């Protein structure tokens, strides 16, 4: 069919956006309808201050964005929502019971012990296929169970599913993101035996749907100014990383990708899972992809290291911005000593420059004194962690990696892209920056019949419309 319009709602851990996309067999254009910060909030809970998402605030920004789309495109065909993984809301009788916890909240540590006392990490890996992250939903659910929060709940919705529910009135669990709960079987069904073993009520979990399923239509009570009955609400790869991977203009048989936003998700796309002891030791995950593909990847800390450091410098009253610091950092010599960007101590919010300095001090080394020096060592350390995860992905999966694609906000960080090429020893192809919104829009467009084809067809369309920027590796190997 001809081109038509869909809206991609993409909520990242740092910022969210509503994108108006025009898509057809030869068309792929994005216009930003709204962009807003995602600012978590600390709330006193009687004995401690807990970190939550301001989900209702995000939702109201989403509605504003959709309102703007409606005014310019009353005939919009579809809306789809993706967001960061693992976090969820609990409901009773259709009502949200409280703002979801942030995965960086410290509460999850207790959940890890609770779960591992019942099921070994080896068995969890064999069944769920996930890398160990202390905030995987199953650990968070164990904390909720211990606190009694699950007693009143009769529904569990992951963040994008919750937004979809508020838009459509339909409660479902889209599979790519449901895979990050740790509660799915290798075949992509709820793991009933595991759910029972963990003492969770099976009825909490809604029906699973695949990306590309029509979930419903926009609730008329939202009073958005669309024509007629308004757009469909379509399930997309609702895990933001799953949507991003759809729009990586790569050949998965010979390339790795880095979806680089708050996190750097480094890996390859496979037809089936790889569940090996080596993969578990390297903390590689098998997350569900669109069209049944597997995202075999490792979480590296990502741009969070930069954004959280800048936040700290600004808290101290320094007038610094990412752009100016990167420009200054690029003029500095390459640091001789790097830190381990994978270290879990960098997970929690707070004074990251001090924690990085601590990492160096423990080894009798000195961290760079200036913010620009710190930015340079962060970029180089991230690039080294990216390169090492690319090598591990290739070794563990057997994919011969000839190029590395970087998509997301990191694709516009030239220093990072070049350093990654230098350290990986293969060319980096950077872009598109809005891969997640593009992947979201492409899956909707295919679902409503604006185009057809497999992921390779969708990726070819991305490649034709968003030519990547190429970074050649240094002639002398950098390690
Ligand atoms: C990136 C992301 C990532 C998850 C993390 C919680 O936004 O979804 O894939 O591991 O957030």
**Contact, 297 vs 267, CB < 8 A?**
yes
Burial of 169 (0-12, 13-18, 19+ CB in 10 A): middle
pTM (2 d.p.): 0.98
**Contact, 257 vs 250, CB < 8 A?**
yes
Question: Hey, which residues does 27 pair with through a beta bridge?
Answer: 24
Contacts 24+ apart (CB under 8 A), 354-361: 354/312, 356/305, 356/309
Radius of gyration of the chain, Cα coordinates, nearest whole angstrom: 22
Rounded mean pLDDT of the chain? 97
CA distance 102 to 106: 9
Structure tokens at 440: 């979201």
Nearest Cα neighbor of 59 from 126, 152, 157, 135 is: 157
Nearest Cα neighbor of 18 from 54, 63, 57 is: 63
Q: What is the pLDDT of residues 334-376, one digit of tens each?
A: 999 999 999 999 999 999 999 999 999 999 999 999 999 999 9
List average pLDDT for each run of 10 residues in the chain, which is 479 residues long.
93 97 98 98 96 98 98 98 98 98 94 97 97 97 97 98 98 98 97 98 98 98 95 98 99 98 98 97 98 98 97 96 97 97 95 98 97 98 98 98 98 98 98 98 98 98 98 85
Active-site hit among 240, 342, 343, 395:
240
- The reply to whether ipTM tops 0.90 is yes
Determine how β-strand 403-407 pairs with β-strand 428-430: parallel
**Contact, 23 vs 445, CB < 8 A?**
yes
Ligand 1 binding pocket (C-beta < 6 A) is 12-13, 84-86, 103, 239-241, 261-263, 265, 299
The phi and psi torsions of 5 (rounded to 5 degrees) equal -115, 145
Is 251 among the catalytic positions?
no
The length of the chain in residues reads 479
20: left (phi over 0), alpha (psi -120 to 50) or beta: beta
Name the residue at shortest CA distance from atom 1 of ligand 1: 84
Contacts with 172 (C-beta within 8 Å, 6 or more apart), sequence order:
161, 164, 165, 206, 207, 208, 209, 213, 215, 235
Ligand 1 pocket, mutate which of 132, 134, 180, 436 (most atoms under 8 A from CB)? 180
CA distance to 64, 225, 229, 474, per residue, from 67 (Å): 5, 7, 15, 48
For residue 207, give the 3-state DSSP assignment.
Answer: coil
Number of CB atoms found within 10 A of residue 234's CB: 29
Strand ranges across the sheet with 4-11: 27-37, 15-24, 4-11, 78-83, 232-234, 214-217
How much distance in Å is there from the Cα of 12 to the middle of ligand 1? 8
Name the residue at shortest CA distance from atom 10 of ligand 1: 85
């Amino acid at each position: 069919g001809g081109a038509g319009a869909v809206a991609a709602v993409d909520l990242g851990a740092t910022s969210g956006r509503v994108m108006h996309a025009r898509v057809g067999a030869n068309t792929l254009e994005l216009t930003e309808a709204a962009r807003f910060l995602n600012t978590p909030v600390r709330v006193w809970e009687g004995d401690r201050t807990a970190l939550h998402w301001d989900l209702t605030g995000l939702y109201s920004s989403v509605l504003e964005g959709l309102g703007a789309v409606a005014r310019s495109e009353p005939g919009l065909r579809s809306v789809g929502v993706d967001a960061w993984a693992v976090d969820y809301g609990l409901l009773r009788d259709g009502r949200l019971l409280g703002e979801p916890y942030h995965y960086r909240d410290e509460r999850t540590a207790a959940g890890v012990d609770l779960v591992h006392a019942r099921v070994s990490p080896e068995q969890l890996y064999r069944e769920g296929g996930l890398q160990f992250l202390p905030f995987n939903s199953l650990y968070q659910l164990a904390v909720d169970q211990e606190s009694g929060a699950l007693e009143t709940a009769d529904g569990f919705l992951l963040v994008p599913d919750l937004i979809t529910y508020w838009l459509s009135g339909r409660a479902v669990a889209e599979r790519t993101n449901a895979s990050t709960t740790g509660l799915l079987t290798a075949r992509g069904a709820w793991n009933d035996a595991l759910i029972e073993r963990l003492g969770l009520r099976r009825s909490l979990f809604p029906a699973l749907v695949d990306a590309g399923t029509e979930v419903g239509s926009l609730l008329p009570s939202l009073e958005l100014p669309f024509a007629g009955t308004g757009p469909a609400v379509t399930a997309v790869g609702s895990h933001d990383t799953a949507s991003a991977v759809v729009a990586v203009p790569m050949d998965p048989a010979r390339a790795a990708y880095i979806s680089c936003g708050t996190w750097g998700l480094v890996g390859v796309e496979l037809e089936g899972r790889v569940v090996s002891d080596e993969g578990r030791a390297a903390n590689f995950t098998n997350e569900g992809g669109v069209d049944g593909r597997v995202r075999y990847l490792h979480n590296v800390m990502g741009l969070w290291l930069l954004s959280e450091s800048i936040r700290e410098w600004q808290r101290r009253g320094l007038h610094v911005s990412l752009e100016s610091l990167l420009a200054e950092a690029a003029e500095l010599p390459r640091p001789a000593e790097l830190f381990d960007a994978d270290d879990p101590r960098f997970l929690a919010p707070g004074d990251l420059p001090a924690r990085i300095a601590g990492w160096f001090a423990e080894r009798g080394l000195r961290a760079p004194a200036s913010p620009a020096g710190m930015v340079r060592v962060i970029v180089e350390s991230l690039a080294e962690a990216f390169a090492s995860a690319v090598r591990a992905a290739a070794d563990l999966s057997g994919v011969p990696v000839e190029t590395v694609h970087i998509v997301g906000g990191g694709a516009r960080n030239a220093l990072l892209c070049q350093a990654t090429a230098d350290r990986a020893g293969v060319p980096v192809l950077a872009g598109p920056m809005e891969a997640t919104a593009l992947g979201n829009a492409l899956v909707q467009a295919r679902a409503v019949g604006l185009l057809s084809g497999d992921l390779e067809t969708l990726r070819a369309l991305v490649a034709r419309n968003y030519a990547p920027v190429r970074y050649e590796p240094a002639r002398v190997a950098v390690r």
